[in-house]
Structure 1
Amino acid sequence: MQVSEAKLEGKEVYHIKGKGKSTGLLHLFFKVDDRYETYIDRTTVKPYRFIRDIDEGGHTKDIQIDFNHDTRTAVINDKKHNKVESMDIEPSTQDMMSAFYHLRTIVDIKTLKKGDEFKLPMFFDKENFDFKLKFLGRDTIRTKFGKVPALEFRPYVQSGRVFKEEESLTVWISDDENKMPLKIKAKLAVGSLTADLDAFKGLKYQFKTLP
């Protein structure tokens, strides 16, 4: 995942890009090649634009969504089918990627208690729903940089084509003010996935490891 400062139609935004690819044997049986992007306001942390370009086991989508939070509408441009439509959204709606960034800004790690849940309105696949994230507790995980204190979360995802069940995804972020993603584990409809932090730069706070 990459985060950079940018401008979108004259607005000061953060441009967040994420990519996911299957490797090894999984790639032979269930190819995953996904690209996600979001442009969020630097002050309100609301998304202006969301891009989803995916290939999951031959199921492909190429969609751009532009959000207007003043009129509470989303314009969906389905580039694969050359179709554009507008739908109503909830106040302060987030997209799939901006939701995680938004939660990082509002979660106070000092007061977190096991079992705490956070909900946000989200718009995904032409549908408004509540995105839920549950705090599972504190942990220490091994990374290529050493042992790192971590916060373990459970995002509730849509079961079906990619994820095996609603509770298939677990995310660990650093237990410090960076709140940096460290590890992701997922039970997929076919096989499983593990992603570990490989590199980082430009952190605001010092990244600490345990002896």
Structure 2
Amino acid sequence: MIQFRLLLLFFLLPTLGLTQQAPTVPFTFGEELNFEVSYGWINLADAKMQVSNQPHIHDQKPHYKIDVYGQTKGAAALFGRVNDNWGTYWDGDTRLPKISYRHIEEGKYRKHEKVFFDQKNRKAKMQLFDRENKVLTEVKEFDLPGQVQDLVSGFYYLRSLDLRDIKAGDYVTIKGFFDKEIYNIKLIFEGTERIKTELGEKDTFIFSPQVPKNKLFRGEYPVKVWVTQDQNKIPVKIKANLFLGSLNFDIISAKGLRYN
């Protein structure tokens, strides 16, 4: 299920800094977005993006606790069971992550990780734990090239931006910290489109990250993300063109939205 994990990486990471920030955060505590993941006609997995019901305090400041879950279902689990959780504690004032974490279960593979960000001093401290997530096994510090987002926080930062004046062809090179590395990814705004979803017809912005050549994706811009043009700015569809077929995320429900 490496395709599932890599698509989440390109969906969540390359979404930082296009224009000025919007005056308010367009989501609120208790928001929950649910998706169906499919390959052709096969339903592979369920995915969920969830904001905690109440703030979490770090350094005497309230933070949003945001989780993304991915889990295989049905016959897809026979080819490799996936039960993943990515998360972040996100400061709504600075719009930067304070802590990120990953709990990965893919077949027999396990990984439990926390990263503590010192954005002011451009440092990150990573902690790795054993398979049962009980014993600390490794601690490592990293220098950062500036303020960075993590795997989950980047997408919520995108939602906080004012996109009203963005034009087709506009792009940005962004920085994110993930898996001990700094990623610089070019995100292209392709334009707008009205599409049908389980939530009804939606006017959307379309974004595409520039993906380095690899053996999984087809073309230079193989991933597209559709984000609603309304005040909530929620993702309603993601499509990745693979060398064989395509992988799709389609929204199936949304609740707890800030704006009706």
> What range is the shorter-chain TM-score in?
0.7 to 0.9
Using the size of structure 2 for normalisation, the TM-score is 0.69
Unaligned runs of 5+ residues in structure 1 are 207-211
1:175 corresponds to 2:229: yes
The within-5 A match list for 1:91-102 is 91-102=146-157
Distance 1:199 1:8, change over 3 A: farther
Distance 1:48 1:159, change over 3 A: farther
Q: State the secondary structure of the residue aligned to 1:164.
A: coil
Aligned equivalent of 1:13, options 37, 52, 63: 63
1:2 corresponds to 2:18: no
Cα distance, 1:96 vs. partner?
Answer: 1.2
Describe the superposition over 1:18-41 as per-residue Cα deviations: whole angstroms up to 9, x where unpaired. Answer: 011233444322433221000011
Find the aligned partners of 1:71 and 1:109 in 2 and give their Cα distance.
30
Find the aligned partners of 1:51 and 1:8 in 2 and give their Cα distance.
15
Aligned match of 1:209: none
1:71 corresponds to 2:71: no
Find the aligned partners of 2:244 and 2:228 in 1 and give their Cα distance.
29
Aligned equivalent of 1:121, options 175, 192, 205: 175
Find the aligned partners of 2:259 and 2:98 in 1 and give their Cα distance.
28
Describe the superposition over 1:38-68 as per-residue Cα deviations: whole angstroms up to 9, x where unpaired. Answer: 0011200111101111234544321110101
Describe the superposition over 1:132-186 as per-residue Cα deviations: whole angstroms up to 9, x where unpaired. Answer: 322121111111122111111113457769x536644321111112111111223
Aligned match of 1:55: 105
Aligned match of 1:164: 217
Distance 1:89 1:62, change over 3 A: same
Query: Aligned AA for 1:46?
Result: L
Give the share of equivalent positions with the same residue, in percent: 36
Cα distance, 1:8 vs. partner?
Answer: 2.8
Using the size of structure 1 for normalisation, the TM-score is 0.84
Cα distance, 1:128 vs. partner?
Answer: 1.5
Q: State the secondary structure of the residue aligned to 1:70.
A: coil
Structure of higher RCO (CA pairs closer than 8 Å, 6+ residues apart): 2
Find the aligned partners of 1:135 and 1:70 in 2 and give their Cα distance.
30
Whether the aligned pair in 1 keeps the contact of 2:224 and 2:239 (CA below 8 Å) is yes
Find the aligned partners of 2:90 and 2:50 in 1 and give their Cα distance.
13
Distance 1:116 1:32, change over 3 A: farther
The within-5 A match list for 1:22-61 is 22-56=72-106, 58-61=108-111
Q: State the secondary structure of the residue aligned to 2:156.
A: helix
Whether the aligned pair in 1 keeps the contact of 2:199 and 2:253 (CA below 8 Å) is no
Task: Tell me how many residue pairs correspond in the alignment.
Answer: 204
Describe the superposition over 1:82-119 as per-residue Cα deviations: whole angstroms up to 9, x where unpaired. Answer: 1111111122111111111112212x332121121123
Distance 1:7 1:156, change over 3 A: farther
Report the RMSD for the aligned CA atoms in angstroms. 2.5
Unaligned runs of 5+ residues in structure 2 are 1-48, 131-135
Aligned equivalent of 1:186, options 240, 245, 251: 240
Aligned match of 1:199: 253
Find the aligned partners of 1:9 and 1:30 in 2 and give their Cα distance.
40
